[in-house]
């Protein structure tokens, strides 16, 4: 098994570090246009349900023929735009056993929402399970709680940097004629010493950046990412069945193999959450308390924690409720409920998705999801479309039973360059209109 994995790893290392001779030409897309095409491609992915096998390795500069196997991971992942769940069984292979009670296999379970993240760490022995709860400002920041690299982040993540930080005014786009891809070099943020990202974007794969390089401001390579073995899944969406990352500073990296995957299929709510098992010690960073999970029918045992500022308020505990993050203390539950209500107030009244749509030559009908957060049905008052190279051929201005608007967009054959159109939607009870951008690559 180890020999087989090592052989695969060596092949990946060789591919990653052989620099091909590249013929560059002037690009026919600006950085802004290229980013819009990537965003439109990214917004096609709403759910990804997958099982993967990951292998971590360390490359020894003094022994290039045999990288060291450091760990293997069996991963089950349920990802949606609002929530995600993962269960990872990781087995490590250290050079030396660090202690007598060392357990090489650790099981990590995560549930992530825009408001909080839950994490459970278990070992297949009698060790006490540990649980962790924390809040987050965005789904992107909470993704870091997962102990692996998801398929979605492999395609669309920029080393944790938000896309809005791309300094497109200074970005440079060229076209690699040999490999038929665009190369965009862009600085992240406004600092003179901000990091740089080089993206290798494949138009034949719906403008997915199939390779990414994360560099220091002086050009020093920090991380290298690669997606390969692409297959079209579900609604003809591209998925990499192999992806990897590598850190040349420590000669450490990981390779992921996708064993099964479905895209844009419904994922049941119960698959996106989990309950802390009895006996778990939970560290709740939202309300700064620590507690132990007992049987579901018993009161939870509060643990006196000198670091907890509100422990005196929650010494008398209430029965745990999973829908409130299994908070053992009444005060903790009240604070969590308040936190949830604030999130609800901050949410917009209506959501239309996607906001950026990729128009292709072989498709003319596009569906927009329209949902109101109060559960009522949205009513469209008016709409307007302005396009350059795109035209609105028909529009059914009734929201169907699946809360969708059907839009027909035609690409003008006489317009061979980058095409763009803006659809403005005005809904009853909403002061601000919703804008949807349609984009199409050069012919």
CATH code of residue 98: 2.50.20
Q: How far apart are CA 137 and CA 111, in angstroms?
A: 15
**Chain Cα centroid distance, residue 145:** 12
> Is the CB of residue 103 less than 8 Å from the CB of residue 125?
yes
Residue 139: left (phi > 0), alpha (psi -120 to 50), or beta?
alpha
Task: Indicate if the pLDDT at residue 53 is higher than 50.
Answer: yes
Residue with tokens 């669309």: 156
Residue 157 shares a structural domain with residue 253: yes
Residue 2 pLDDT > 70, yes or no?
no
CA dist 431 and 165 (Å) reads: 29
Residue 65's contacts (CB-CB under 8 Å, 6 or more residues apart) are 10
Is residue 199 packed enough to be buried (19+ CB in 10 Å), middle (13-18) or exposed (0-12)? buried
Is residue 28 within 8 A of residue 221, CB to CB? The reply is no
The residues near 305 (Cβ < 8 Å, ≥ 6 apart) are 289, 290, 311
In a domain, 270, yes or no: no
Q: For 19-33, 340-354, 373-387, which range has the lowest pLDDT when averaged over its residues?
A: 340-354
145 and 105 within one domain:
yes
- Residue 417: domain span: 350-440
Tokens of 390: 């795109």
Is 269 among the domain residues?
no
Q: CA end-to-end span of the chain, whole Å?
A: 47
Residues 98 and 134 both lie in one domain:
yes
User: Do the beta carbons of residue 173 and residue 29 sit within 8 Å?
Assistant: yes
Quote the pTM value: 0.82
pLDDT at 9: 45
Single out the residue in 232, 263, 294 at which a domain terminates: 263
* Count of domains observed in the chain: 3
Q: What is the mean pLDDT of residues 127-155?
A: 82
Tokens of 130: 């540990």
Does residue 15 surpass a pLDDT of 60? no
Looking at the structure, tell me whether residues 430 and 338 fall in a common domain.
no
Residue 351: is its pLDDT beyond 60?
yes
pLDDT reported for residue 141: 66
Mean pLDDT of the 366-389 span: 89
User: Does residue 64 have a pLDDT over 60?
Assistant: yes
pLDDT at position 136, please? 72
CB 283 within 8 A of CB 131: yes
Q: DSSP readout, 140-167?
A: HHHGGGSSS--HHHHHH-BTTB-GGGEE
- In angstroms, the CA 138 to CA 105 distance is 30
Q: Note whether 160 and 294 are same-domain residues.
A: no
Q: Which residue has the tokens 């939607």?
A: 425
Together in a domain, 319 and 403: no
Please determine, for residue 403, whether its predicted confidence score (pLDDT) is greater than 80.
yes
Which pLDDT does position 115 carry in this prediction? 85
Q: According to the model, what pLDDT value does residue 333 have?
A: 46
What is the torsional sign of CA 65, 70, 76, 80?
Answer: negative
194 shares its domain with 324: no
Q: Is residue 139's pLDDT more than 80?
A: no
Q: Is residue 62 part of a domain?
A: yes
In a domain, 118, yes or no: yes
Torsion of CA 244, 247, 250, 253, to 10 degrees: -10
Q: Which pLDDT score, from 0 to 100, does residue 135 have?
A: 85
Residue 32 in domain: yes
Q: Has residue 310 got a pLDDT over 60?
A: no
- Mean pLDDT of all residues in 352-361: 93
Q: What percent of the chain has pLDDT over 70?
A: 79
The answer to whether 276 and 327 are in contact (CB under 8 A) is no
Instruction: Give SS3 for 235.
Output: coil
Section 355-367 average pLDDT: 91
Per DSSP, the three-state class of 177 is coil
Distances (CA, A) of 413 to 207, 276, 388: 21, 58, 12
Does residue 184 lie within any of the structural domains?
yes
pLDDT digits (tens, 9 = 90+) for 146-202: 778 899 999 999 988 999 999 999 999 999 999 999 999 999 998 889 999 999 999
Give a yes or no: residue 195 inside a domain: yes
CATH number for the domain that contains residue 393: 2.60.40.10
Question: Residue 77: is its pLDDT beyond 50?
Answer: yes
Residue 175 structure tokens: 């076209």
Tens-digit pLDDT profile for residues 414-431: 889 999 999 999 998 888
pLDDT in tens, 237-266: 999 999 999 999 999 999 999 999 999 999
The more confidently predicted of residues 395 and 72 is 72
Mean pLDDT lowest for which of 33-37, 138-142, 218-222, 399-403?
138-142
- My answer on whether 208 and 335 are in the same domain is no
Weakest-pLDDT range from 33-47, 191-205, 281-295: 281-295
Q: Are residues 372 and 328 in the same domain?
A: no
pLDDT averaged over the chain? 82
For the chain, how long is the longest CA-to-CA vector? 74
> From the CB of residue 169, how many other CB atoms can be counted at a distance below 10 Å?
10
In a domain, 242, yes or no: yes
* Same domain for 426 and 340: no
Where among 346, 374, 399 does a domain terminate? 346
**pLDDT score, position 345:** 41
Tens-digit pLDDT profile for residues 81-109: 989 999 999 999 988 887 777 789 999 99
What does the block give as tokens for 59? 């490359």
Q: 308 versus 401: which is more confidently predicted?
A: 401
Does residue 50 share a domain with residue 10? yes
Pair (253, 284) in one structural domain: no
Domain boundary (233, 263, 293) is at 263
């Amino acid at each position: 098994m180890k020999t087989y994995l090592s052989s695969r790893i060596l092949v990946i290392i060789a591919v990653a570090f052989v620099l091909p001779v590249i013929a560059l030409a002037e690009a026919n897309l600006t950085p802004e246009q290229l980013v819009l095409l990537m965003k439109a491609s990214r917004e096609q992915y709403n759910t990804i349900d997958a099982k993967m096998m990951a292998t971590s390795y360390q490359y020894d500069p003094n022994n290039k023929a045999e990288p060291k196997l450091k760990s293997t991971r069996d991963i089950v992942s349920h990802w949606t735009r609002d929530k995600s769940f993962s269960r990872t069984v990781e087995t490590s292979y250290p050079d030396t056993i660090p202690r007598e009670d060392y357990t090489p296999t650790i099981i990590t379970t995560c549930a992530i929402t825009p408001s909080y993240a839950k994490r459970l760490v278990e070992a297949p022995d009698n060790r006490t399970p540990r649980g962790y709860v924390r809040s987050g400002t965005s789904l992107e920041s909470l993704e870091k709680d997962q102990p692996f690299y998801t398929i979605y982040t492999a395609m669309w993540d920029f080393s944790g940097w938000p896309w809005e930080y791309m300094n497109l005014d200074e970005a440079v786009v060229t076209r690699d004629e040999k490999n038929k891809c665009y190369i965009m070099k862009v600085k992240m943020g406004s600092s003179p010493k901000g990091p740089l990202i080089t993206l290798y974007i494949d138009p034949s794969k719906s403008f997915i950046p199939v390779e990414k390089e994360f560099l220091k401001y002086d050009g020093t390579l920090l991380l290298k990412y690669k997606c390969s073995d692409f297959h079209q899944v579900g609604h003809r969406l591209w998925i990499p069945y192999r992806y990897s990352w590598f850190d040349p500073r420590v000669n450490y990296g990981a390779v992921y193999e996708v064993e099964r995957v479905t895209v844009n299929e419904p994922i049941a709510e119960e698959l996106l959450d989990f309950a802390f098992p009895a006996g778990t010690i939970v560290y709740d960073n939202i309300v700064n308390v620590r507690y132990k999970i007992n049987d579901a029918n018993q009161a939870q045992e509060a643990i006196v924690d000198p670091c907890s500022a509100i422990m005196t308020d929650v010494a008398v505990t209430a029965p745990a409720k999973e829908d409130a993050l299994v908070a053992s203390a009444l005060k903790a539950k009240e604070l969590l409920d308040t936190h949830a209500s604030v999130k609800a107030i901050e949410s917009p009244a209506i959501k239309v998705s996607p906001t950026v749509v990729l128009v292709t030559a072989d498709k003319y009908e596009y569906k927009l999801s329209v949902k109101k957060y109060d559960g009522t049905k949205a009513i469209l008052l008016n709409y307007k479309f302005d396009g350059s190279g795109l035209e609105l051929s028909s529009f059914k201005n009734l929201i169907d039973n699946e809360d969708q608007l059907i839009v027909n967009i035609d690409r003008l054959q006489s317009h061979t360059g980058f095409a763009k159109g803006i659809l403005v939607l005005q809904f009853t009870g909403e002061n601000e209109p919703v804008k949807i951008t349609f984009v199409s690559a050069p012919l």
